[in-house]
Amino acid sequence: MDGTVLENLASILDEQAEVYESLVELSRRKQRIIVQGGSGEFEAILEGEQALVWQAGRLEELRLGLQQQLAGHLNLSPEELTMSRVLERCEEPMGGRLKALQNRIFSVLGELGRLNEVNTRLLKKSLSYITAAMEVLNRDQPSNVTYTPAGEASASREPRRFLNHRA
């Protein structure tokens, strides 16, 4: 198997792992901000995440190109090529390096998925609190008690005008 292609693959996988680890760190920071309620830093984190996701996409395109080259060397289609098949035909120490990178990426992506799930739940809960507060501030309040011709009290409802638009 072509050692240069394998070396390039390992290099790209290492870069991908670093990008994913950076995303995990940003997700942890984002979680702290969601809990503490800091919106300014939250926007900066989202911009950082966007840049890292773009970088991860660029690296994935490079990895797919190397996957096609490796598939050609192994007489497989790119769709049939898996890391397990590469590892079966790969000599040490490269096999161990690629296996370690595979495990690192799986671990980091698992952590990123868990953090994203927790952050999503926290954001939904925060949004429900905000929605409830907005409803309290905007609900109709009785005002101007008047009397009907029969002498019964009748309260007309006017919208509360504390806030003049919805979030």
Q: Is the pLDDT reported for residue 89 higher than 90?
A: no
**Burial of 123 per CB tally in 10 Å (0-12, 13-18, 19+):** middle
Compute the average pLDDT of residues 96-112. 95
Q: What is the pLDDT of residue 34?
A: 84
**Identity of residue 74:** L
Structural domain contains residue 150: no
More confident residue, 137 or 25: 25
Structural domain contains residue 51: yes
Q: pLDDT tens across 56-72, in order? A: 999 999 999 999 998 98
- What domain range includes position 49? 3-136
pTM for this prediction: 0.74
Structural domain contains residue 151: no
Structural domain contains residue 25: yes
More confident residue, 166 or 85: 85
CATH number of the domain that residue 50 is part of: 1.20.58
Q: Using CA atoms, how far apart are residues 86 and 35, in angstroms rounded to an integer? A: 43
- Quote the number of domains for the chain: 1
- Select from 51, 65, 49, 53 the least CA-distant residue to 12: 65
Q: What is the pLDDT of residue 49?
A: 93
Q: What is the pLDDT of residue 141?
A: 57
Structural domain contains residue 85: yes
Q: How confident is the model at residue 130 (pLDDT cuts 50, 70, 90)?
A: confident
What residue spans of 74-149 are helical by DSSP H?
83-88, 94-138
Structural domain contains residue 149: no
Structural domain contains residue 157: no
Q: What is the pLDDT of residue 136?
A: 76
Structural domain contains residue 146: no
